[in-house]
Amino acid sequence: MKLAIIPGDGIGKEVTAEAVKAITRVGEAFGRTFELEHLPWGADYFLETGITIPPDGYDTLRSFDAIFIGALGDPRTPENRHARDILLGTRFELDLYVNYRPVKLLDERLCPLKNRGPKDVDFVVFRENTEGLYVSIGGRFKAGTEDEVAIQEELNTFKGVNRIVRHAFEFAKAHGRTKVCMADKSNAMQQGHALWQRVFKQVSSEYPAIQATHYYIDALAMYMVLDPAQFEVIVTNNLFGDIVTDLGATFQGGLGMAASGNIHPGRTSMFEPVHGSAPKFAGKNVANPIGAIASAALMLETLGLTKEAAAIDAAILKAVRENQVTADIGGKLGTREAGDFIAKEIR
Ligand code: NAD
Ligand code: IPM
Ligand code: MN
């Protein structure tokens, strides 16, 4: 299998190295060869060459079986143009419409919510990943003056909403989940989110065995904290999904723990930890590599390598149970040492 590896910026580089270790180790353990090609795109490359992603970059990415990406974002490039082209650009150009973000607590010790354990925090968020407020349609008029007008439109299409909502129900059906909750802000956003309401009603009626519920996004955030056990599958738009998955990450022990996939079923997809480049930790060997390593497991699972993915997840669980982890979740190891422990336990 051919995998593209984009370490990116800041701690992205460090956690990607640990994800690569895990992939290499699982290959050895299961007698599989992964052909890894590292791509240098990121802030350094942009500052040196002026190129965010080369003109044939998206085609290059399409030629791989999957893409792994660390994180993008650098204080030297505050406009974030390279991240827009590389990360969001790939989501859009490869039409990776499913942002799959599992929220799964591995050990009670890691959860900041009172009296909550692994049985209470085990749901998945499906974030629409190709439209919404992220399409950057709009503009600034008289920018920088007191008359400035800034417009940013939210794009919602029937095709886009329908396919992510359907995906959520299909996932629930395939994984024995009994509930799907859709979150929008249709009380205030009466045009775009009326479409979400209509589609959700229509699609849910085709799945009578699955209980369909709805919360406004503000209430969803509140219920996630108050009673996370009620959730099995959540589906929401691009921006809301971004926000609630950082909240979900804290239930798992923090941003360093959360994994994600940007998926177009059946096509080249891209996997990455939920966290960013955390500039304050960059180069210090302190970042938690688990979110990245778990994202590598998601990648293998999506590629059909379920035993390999399970072996990585088991090694992560062992590291957490034995506290062979980084300081953010109570351990004493550095990024590399935590990654070494997990790699060694993969079998
Ligand atoms: P961030 O996720 O980088 O970090 C926020 C805080 O979370 C960190 O300061 C740290 O305390 C903690 N944290 C994050 N990852 C961790 C890890 N692996 N181990 C331990 N602690 C961890 O978010 P931010 O500070 O808002 O953004 C920094 C840069 O990253 C920005 O340029 C932003 O645009 C970018 N970003 C990129 C991605 C991505 O590439 N997918 C995602 C989010 C943010
Ligand atoms: C994420 C990130 C990105 C997003 C940023 C870096 C543009 O926060 O993947 O969650 O908002 O999608
Ligand atoms: Mn985010």
Per-residue pLDDT of the chain (347 residues; tens, 9 = 90+): 999 999 999 999 999 999 999 999 999 999 999 999 999 999 999 999 999 999 999 999 999 999 999 999 999 999 999 999 999 999 999 999 999 999 999 999 999 999 999 999 999 999 999 999 999 999 999 999 999 999 999 999 999 999 999 999 999 999 999 999 999 999 999 999 999 999 999 999 999 999 999 999 999 999 999 999 999 999 999 999 999 999 999 999 999 999 999 999 999 999 999 999 999 999 999 999 999 999 999 999 999 999 999 999 999 999 999 999 999 999 999 999 999 999 999 99
The answer to whether residues 215 and 183 touch, using CB atoms and an 8 Å cutoff, is yes
pLDDT at 134: 97
- As given in the structure block, the two tokens for residue 92 are 């859009």
b or e along 40-50 (b: 16 or more beta carbons within 10 Å of the residue's beta carbon)? ebbbbbbeeee
Instruction: Match 């590896």 to its residue by tokens.
Output: 5
The answer to whether residues 118 and 107 touch, using CB atoms and an 8 Å cutoff, is yes
Beta-bridged to residue 81, according to DSSP, are none
| Among 165, 252, 153, 157, residue whose Cα is nearest residue 202 | 165
- Could you tell me if the CB of 83 is within 6 A of ligand 2? yes
The answer to whether residues 274 and 101 touch, using CB atoms and an 8 Å cutoff, is yes
- Could you tell me if the CB of 7 is within 6 A of ligand 1? no
Residues contacting 91, CB < 8 A, separation 6+: 99, 129, 130, 262, 270
pLDDT at 161: 98
pLDDT at 261: 98
| Among 236, 160, 172, 247, residue whose Cα is nearest residue 206 | 172
Which ligand 2 atom is the nearest neighbour of the CA of 272? Answer: 9
- Could you tell me if the CB of 72 is within 6 A of ligand 1? yes
Beta-bridged to residue 272, according to DSSP, are 260
Q: Which of 68, 87, 128 to mutate for ligand 2's pocket (most ligand atoms within 8 Å of CB)?
A: 87
Using CA atoms, how far apart are residues 211 and 177, in angstroms rounded to an integer?
9
pTM of the entire predicted model = 0.98
CA of 347 to the centre of ligand 2 (A): 33
Using CA atoms, how far apart are residues 271 and 211, in angstroms rounded to an integer?
29
- Could you tell me if the CB of 299 is within 6 A of ligand 1? no
CA of 213 to the centre of ligand 2 (A): 26
| Among 127, 334, 152, 105, residue whose Cα is nearest residue 238 | 127
pLDDT at 317: 98
For residue range 59-107, what is the model confidence (pLDDT) as tens digits? 999 999 999 999 999 999 999 999 999 999 999 999 999 999 999 999 9
Distances (CA, A) of 234 to 13, 15, 91: 30, 27, 20
The answer to whether residues 96 and 126 touch, using CB atoms and an 8 Å cutoff, is no
Instruction: Match 């591995």 to its residue by tokens.
Output: 106
pLDDT at 118: 98
The answer to whether residues 184 and 244 touch, using CB atoms and an 8 Å cutoff, is no
Give backbone dihedrals phi and psi of 287, rounded to 5 degrees, phi first.
-65, 140
pLDDT at 8: 98
Tell me how long the chain is: 347
Ligand nearest the Cα atom of residue 71: 1
As a whole number of angstroms, the longest Cα–Cα distance in the chain is 64
- Could you tell me if the CB of 242 is within 6 A of ligand 1? no
Cite the DSSP H helix spans in the chain.
11-30, 43-49, 57-62, 81-83, 89-93, 158-174, 192-204, 217-226, 238-251, 290-302, 306-321, 335-345
Q: What is the DSSP string of 140-202?
A: EESTTSTT-EEEEEEE--HHHHHHHHHHHHHHHHHTT--EEEEEE-TTT-TTHHHHHHHHHHH
Edge-to-edge strand ranges of the sheet holding 35-38: 35-38, 2-8, 66-71, 269-273, 259-263, 98-104, 122-128, 233-236, 179-184, 211-216
Which ligand 2 atom is the nearest neighbour of the CA of 242? Answer: 10
- As given in the structure block, the two tokens for residue 90 are 């790939």
